[in-house]
Amino acid sequence: MRLATKGRHIIDAATGQPLLLRGVNMSGIEYLRKITREELHEAVVGWNCDIVRIPFVQSKVANIEYVDELRQVVQWLWVMGSFAILDLQWLSAESGVAPEPNLGSIACWETLAHAFNDAPYVIFDLLNEPHDVPAKQWVEWAYLLTDTVRAVDPERVVMVGGLDWAYDLRGVHLDLPNVIYSTHVYPNKGKQWDRCFGDFAWEKPVFAGEFGGWDEDLDWGRELLAYFDARQMGWTAWSWRDKPHLLGTPFGELVKSALAGAQSKPPASST
């Protein structure tokens, strides 16, 4: 299946059917910890995820074994019935979250575009959390990386995060098809949801690539999930194993319950 976008929805390119995708982030490969088939099965089958976001490290993509590991994870997910997002989490294991890409990001996405050219159901999240740069500067990078990917696959769906650590989508727009806009929502950001991403979701495909909370954030989490539903926004909660954890926590149970009640439910309208 090839993914695409139309209006404000992610769609099945062949049928035009809108897809409202929800799932979790599955950390591990960015720390060089193996992601097992068993934990992917628990996420997809046990938690009813229909999309899983996989963070990775740019510098490791030069290693063919690392790319093969990413391919294996994506293949397992697809066989189980889940889409995947490949998320450029860090430029290197030592760098932490970079404010913007660098020249190595071009080579990284060119490599992955070739490696996943037979997997049009994979979304490429171009950079985890842009921050502390002007919107124009980040948008120029997003155009460059999208052009790099689409030199290999002209129809590949890409994900472009907002500013302020991906939270704020104001000023972030690409005049291109098949672009999903990603927001990362956490309690410390406040509740300017309409201004930062919610209003934009009425116009373009907006997806919450990350959100999460602690035990004291359950009311906040319920409100946020209802907000996503009202705007027909897909999401991937953070994170299966990393803080704030989903496994074995009240917030994780909240996410699991939302997944159980919403898997694969199409939006009410395809407009």
- Stretch 234-260: mean pLDDT, rounded? 96
- Assess if residue 3 is contained within a domain: no
SS3 159: strand
- Stretch 118-133: mean pLDDT, rounded? 98
Residue 183's nearest CA partner among 236, 252, 248 is 236
**Residue 251 sits in which domain range?**
25-261
pLDDT band of residue 31 (cuts 50, 70, 90) is confident
- Assess if residue 8 is contained within a domain: no
SS3 115: helix
Q: How many beta carbons lie within 10 A of that of residue 216, not counting itself?
A: 10
Residues 59-71 have pLDDT tens digits of 999 999 999 999 9
Residue 213's nearest CA partner among 181, 240, 245 is 245
- Assess if residue 153 is contained within a domain: yes
- Assess if residue 211 is contained within a domain: yes
What pLDDT was estimated at residue 267? 43
Residue 269 has pLDDT above 50, yes or no: no
- Assess if residue 10 is contained within a domain: no
Residue 81 has pLDDT above 50, yes or no: yes
Residues 151-197 have pLDDT tens digits of 999 999 999 999 999 999 999 999 999 999 999 999 999 999 999 99
The count of structural domains within the chain is: 1
Residue 265 has pLDDT above 50, yes or no: no
Q: Which CATH number characterizes residue 168's domain? A: 3.20.20.80
- Assess if residue 266 is contained within a domain: no
Residues 11-26 have pLDDT tens digits of 999 999 999 999 999 9
- Stretch 219-244: mean pLDDT, rounded? 97
- Assess if residue 217 is contained within a domain: yes
What pLDDT was estimated at residue 112? 98
- Assess if residue 20 is contained within a domain: no
Alpha helical stretches, state H, the chain: 37-41, 64-80, 103-115, 135-150, 163-166, 193, 218-230, 250-262
SS3 231: coil
pTM (2 d.p.): 0.95
**What Cα–Cα distance (Å) separates residue 68 from each residue in 61, 80, 178, 259?**
9, 18, 26, 29
- Stretch 83-94: mean pLDDT, rounded? 96
The DSSP H or E segment spanning 206 is strand 206-211
